[in-house]
Amino acid sequence: MSNMILNKLLLPVFVFIYSLIALINLSYSASNIALNKRYTVSPIQNYQLSALLTDNTTLTDGKYSSGYFWTQKSTVGWKGEKRIEILIDLESISDIGRLTFNTARGQGADVYFPAHVYAFIGSGMDDFKYVGDIVKSPDNTPGIYKVKKFELAGINARGRYLLLEIIPRGYFAFCDEIEVFPGNSASTYAGNMDREAVQNFTRQLERLDIEKEFLSGLLDGLISKSKGFKRSDKHCAEIRQDIDALSGLGDSGAIETAIFALRGEALRARFPGRQFLQESINPWAPMSPIPVPNDKPLQDLALTIPLGGYDHAAFVVTNLKKIPQEVTVQPDRMAKEAPGLAVYGVPFVKSAAMEYVADPLVPANGRFTLRPGESRMVFLTAHGEYPGRWRSTVKVGVGADVSSVPLDLHVANVALPSEFSLNSINWGYLDFKPIKARRSDAVNDLVAHHTNVAVIPAWHIPFSPQVAPRDLMRMEEYQRLSNGASKVLYFFNFNEERHLTVNGKYRFMSHEWKKWFKEFYPRLVKSAARAGFTEEQLYLYPFDEMHGQDVDRFVAFASWARKEIPSIKFYGTLERKEALKSLPYLDIAQVIDRDELFEEARNSKKEIWIYGAADKTKSLSPYAYYRLMSWKAFYLGFKGAGFWNYADTGSGENPGSAWDDFDGNRPDFAVIYEGKNGGIVSSRRWEAWRMGVEDYELLTMYARFKGDAAARELAKKVLSHPGDTDKADETRRFILREMSR
């Protein structure tokens, strides 16, 4: 009875407390001072399934998306943007205490929370102050589908404008609501940065955060691979503090050196008395900057080479001393007829996939330096012109310690053809920044890597009602650089509206346009002849990766052109199922590497090539992505293979360097790097591609020798184990042995 009375007495108290809490929450929620405020975004949203291009109210309307986040019109979405800016006008100067940003992720759809949402507050356009990163949180991780509201609290700044600089993580970025809540009174206005200064400051913040993420990853990797090292916890904690306090990019090298030094201590405890390690590694295998020793002592370096072809070997050197050591790698001299041998060091570059990648092949010139605890891959390339076998040694010195590694070079009496049957293409536009000043070197490099298809970009094709001789001469000069290619593709780029007219005068497929084209095509053929190409080698490439109305435009154009010019031929790249409608009108269809497109393409009886256009290319496997593409082409009966791109480091006025994925408007696609003194630096990916092209020729030769079924079975076994980087080399050596008998 007493409990019942007590409950009755307490009930009004509980009701009052809960009502008060609800009232507080309601008033707190209602105090969103950004509600229904005006804002601008740059660039404008461009994800077609979410908010319309004209929408400028969704982000502050107080309404959250229900249903799948990025398919709702109440969500604003972007694709393919490196940086997004949102400016909200709060209409009056306010004390600001807290910001929220509601977004979503879904790793299965390649959607991630933004990498950063840097927030700035100002009373005007020239006094912004940085107040923090809204999405800096332990919860900002990849994962399954999830909607999350990120919050930045404790701001206590004063201003009228909220400026957000959003850095997407990956290709997409989404948000459905931004909220601003009041805070304690601030004693001063926001800061002293104008919009341009904010953008510059954002770039600095982004690079610092990228550097911190790389260093943290390096340290985390060391910790995970150094269990039981008794001093690691203390030293790692000190290094972690240094990473968190990093304020300039110039200091990151010292932190990296400290991490390697700590690794050196762990390795010296494991290998007492050793000055350095030498270990075997497959030249195409992935490699971490802090690899766990593989307990594979360096044995013979054995290379087997077809006549006119290449082979590669690699090993890893690790400095165990407490001081930096100079490493020398020097092959002994061999007879003049012996294969040419080049030695490269393979430094690490930072990929847009946030990985350290051992990729560029920097000529070692006999020596390079390793910090304490640092490892580096040494990469050897051999090119054989005469059959035979040669035994020699490679001397490897680390400081005063020198060892000799046996070298076995075998050039099989199996010659690669002078003209390859595989059509190899990588859109090596000679105007791209890394090669623009070294076009001849680039062409020689492309030819040396068996690229035999040239593409003439649209900006070298004169679109003018009256094509002047000088315009044709400029195109001829460009074509002449690729003299020797087996095919030439003229990329008209009708995907872009500006190319659908002739200098804005004749509309695509109008009567005037058709008349112009019928006059232009014979002049193009004559121009190509002067550059060294026959009409049989020429293909028009009207659209790239056509879809939507581009497919219908191509079909109409090709149907008309074949009637008017029977000798004309067409090439196209197809990456969507709807584009397969164009197959009957193409002479060559290059289909993106997606199995669901291959069956219909093969059934078309057209000549089919395969290609890849993946991004974050530094992190792509030299073996599985680059080398095995040619194996897949052979297995499927395709006649060509390619990838985007040989030298693309971005577009615009300052596309950046191939060495840096983060300095341009997007990550690099290039497989080469700018060398010192104007040279070209190759990569493991580029060398793997060349090996794949040669593999295709060897499989073709083996098919003539043993039958197509036997050759396809070899290819199938290699393709069935894309993670086994030894498989292709083993099969290649088997083919050379069989055909040498």
Domain ranges of the chain: 30-193, 213-270, 276-415, 423-621+628-684
Query: Is domain 276-415 in CATH 3.40.190.100, yes or no?
Result: no
Whether 27 has a pLDDT exceeding 70, the answer reads: no
Give residue 23's pLDDT. 38
Q: Is the N-terminal amide bond of 43 cis, ω within 30° of 0?
A: yes
Give rounded-to-5 percent helix, strand, coil for the chain.
35, 30, 35
Q: What is the pLDDT of residue 573?
A: 98
Q: Is 289 left (phi over 0), alpha (psi -120 to 50) or beta?
A: alpha
Cβ atoms within 10 Å, residue 166: 23
Nearest to 554 by CA among 492, 647, 504, 627: 492
731, pLDDT greater than 60: yes
Range with the poorest average pLDDT among 17-26, 162-171, 337-346, 685-694 = 17-26
Cα separation, 680 vs 361, in Å, equals: 10
pLDDT at 188: 57
Rounded to the nearest angstrom, the gap between the alpha carbon of residue 364 and the centroid of all alpha carbons in its chain is: 26
Using omega within 30 degrees of 0 as the cis cutoff, is the peptide bond preceding 46 cis?
no
Rg (CA), the chain: 31
Angle of the 252-270 helix axis to the 195-225 helix axis, nearest 10: 0
Does residue 2 register a pLDDT over 80?
no
Residues 629 and 638 sit within 8 Å (Cβ to Cβ): no
Contact 688, 617 (CB under 8 A): no
**Residues constituting the chain:** 741
Do residues 352 and 616 make contact, with C-beta atoms less than 8 angstroms apart? yes
Q: How many angstroms separate the Cα of 79 from the Cα of each of 57, 167, 495?
A: 20, 12, 19
What percentage of the chain carries pLDDT values higher than 90? 82
pLDDT digits (tens, 9 = 90+) for 273-306: 999 999 999 999 999 999 988 767 788 899 999 9
pLDDT of residue 681: 97
Over pLDDT 70: what percentage of the chain? 94
Give dist(CA 515, CA 465) in Å, integer.
Answer: 10
> Which DSSP category does 693 fall into?
H
How far from chain centre, in Å, is Cα 430? 20
For the cut 60, the answer to whether the pLDDT of residue 24 exceeds it is: no
**Whole-angstrom distance, CA of residue 293 vs CA of residue 318:** 9
For the chain, what is the mean pLDDT?
Answer: 92
User: What spatial distance separates the first Cα and last Cα of the chain, rounded to whole Å?
Assistant: 104
Q: Using one digit for the tens of pLDDT, what is the confidence trace for 674-722?
A: 998 888 999 999 999 999 999 999 999 999 999 999 999 999 999 999 9
Report pLDDT digits (tens) over 345-378: 999 999 999 999 999 999 987 689 999 999 999 9
In 384-446, where do the E strands start and end? 388-398, 401-415, 423-425
Looking at residue 10, what is its pLDDT? 41
Q: Report d(CA 55, CA 558) in Å as an integer.
A: 39
- What one-character DSSP code corresponds to residue 292? P
**CATH architecture assigned to 30-193:** Sandwich (2.60)
Give the type of residue at 16. Answer: F
Three-state secondary structure of 507-544: ECCCHHHHHHHHHHHHHHHHHHHHCCCCHHHEEEECCC
Q: What pLDDT shows up at residue 231?
A: 54
Q: Is the pLDDT of residue 616 over 90?
A: yes
59-65 average pLDDT score: 96
CATH class of 423-621+628-684: alpha beta
pLDDT level of residue 655 (50, 70, 90 thresholds): confident
Helices (H), strands (E): how many in the chain? Answer: 14, 32
Q: How far apart are CA 171 and CA 660, in angstroms?
A: 18
Three-state SS at 561: helix
Question: DSSP string of 339-386?
Answer: PEEEEEEE-EEE-TTS-EEE-EEEE-TTEEEE-TT-EEEEEEEEE-SS
E-strand stretches of 557-624: 571-574, 588-592, 607-612
What would the two tokens of residue 70 be? 């990025």
146-167/116-122 β-pairing:
antiparallel
Q: What is the largest CA-CA distance in the chain?
A: 110
C-alpha of 580 from chain center = 27
3-20 pLDDT, tens digit per residue, is: 444 344 344 443 344 344
For 423-471, the pLDDT digits (tens) are 999 999 999 999 999 999 999 999 999 999 999 999 999 988 888 888 8
Please list the residues that pair with 392 across neighbouring strands: 407
- Taking the C-alpha atoms of 447, 451, 455 and 456 in order, what is their torsion angle to the nearest 10 degrees? 0
Could you tell me which residues come within 8 angstroms of residue 207 by beta carbon, excluding any fewer than 6 positions away? 249, 662
Residue 246 has pLDDT above 70, yes or no: yes
pTM: predicted TM-score of the whole model, two decimal places = 0.89
Q: What is the pLDDT of residues 79-126, one digit of tens each?
A: 989 899 999 999 999 999 999 999 999 999 999 999 999 999 999 999
Report whether 636 contacts 602 (CB < 8 A). Answer: yes
Report the pLDDT value the prediction gives residue 508, as an integer from 0 to 100.
95
